Amino acid sequence: CSFISFAPSPSESFHKHPLEIDLTQSCVGELNTMVRDDINWPIIYGVGVNIKTGEIFPANFPDKGPDLPLRMARHFTGSHQVLDIYDAAVGMLRIGPFNYDPLRGVDLWLAQSDEFILKHLSTSPEVEPPHFAMQVRATLRYIQDNQFPAVTVFRNNNPHYFRRDETTGCWTPVRY
């Protein structure tokens, strides 16, 4: 089950949302860093906004939404472009279509320990959440199983669409 917990670029998503959102400050870098045992840690990992009061609060999004290994595969294989995958006007999430080059050595990465993956595939291994290595492994397995997503995932060049079920709050695949 997936709740609205994806992180599209604020500049791309806020202007499309029917609610007017005025982002006046973004707390990143030094402003969101504290030092513990000589290691830089984020003060807040995630933020939510109370749309009635405008107050922000620390938030944790345990569910990252549908097709996470597919979405992460884009970045693992070299794509640095952030995509706005949610359309607030129709209430749908759209993933793809896209392709990526096969990742050489994926078998070798999958054979490594969690500690090795954490050390070599994280920019900040000391402060990653506990599920980091598990998510990386799921992504690497996805890349291994879908070396050419244009053929195996996005047949006929069709994107994946999801809509949030109003009763359960879960993202469900839809034909569009």
- For residues 156 and 130, give the distance between their C-alpha atoms in angstroms, rounded to a whole number: 38
Collapsing DSSP states into helix, strand and coil, what is residue 85?
Answer: coil
Q: Identify the helix (H) or strand (E) that includes residue 93.
A: strand 92-95
Of the candidates 162, 159, 158, the one whose C-alpha atom is nearest the C-alpha of residue 173 is: 162
Residue at 5 is within a domain: no
Q: Specify the pLDDT at position 63.
A: 78
CA–chain centroid gap for 160, Å, is 15
If you average pLDDT over residues 28-37, what whole number do you get? 84
Overall average pLDDT of the 70-75 stretch: 92
Q: How far is CA 158 from CA 32, 76, 140, 151, 165, in A?
A: 40, 22, 23, 10, 22
Is 2 a member of any domain?
Answer: no
59 within domain boundaries:
yes
Express each pLDDT in 51-68 by its tens digit. Answer: 788 888 888 887 788 999
Q: What total of structural domains would you count in the chain?
A: 1
| Residue 1 placed within a domain | no
Condensed to tens digits (0 to 9), the pLDDT of residues 97-151 reads: 999 988 999 999 999 999 999 999 998 899 998 999 999 999 999 999 999 999 9
The verdict on residue 64 lying in a domain is: yes
Q: Residue 4 domain-assigned?
A: no
- Per the structure, the complete domain to which residue 45 belongs is given by 10-174
Q: Does residue 22 form part of some domain?
A: yes
Q: Is residue 48 pLDDT above 80, yes or no?
A: yes
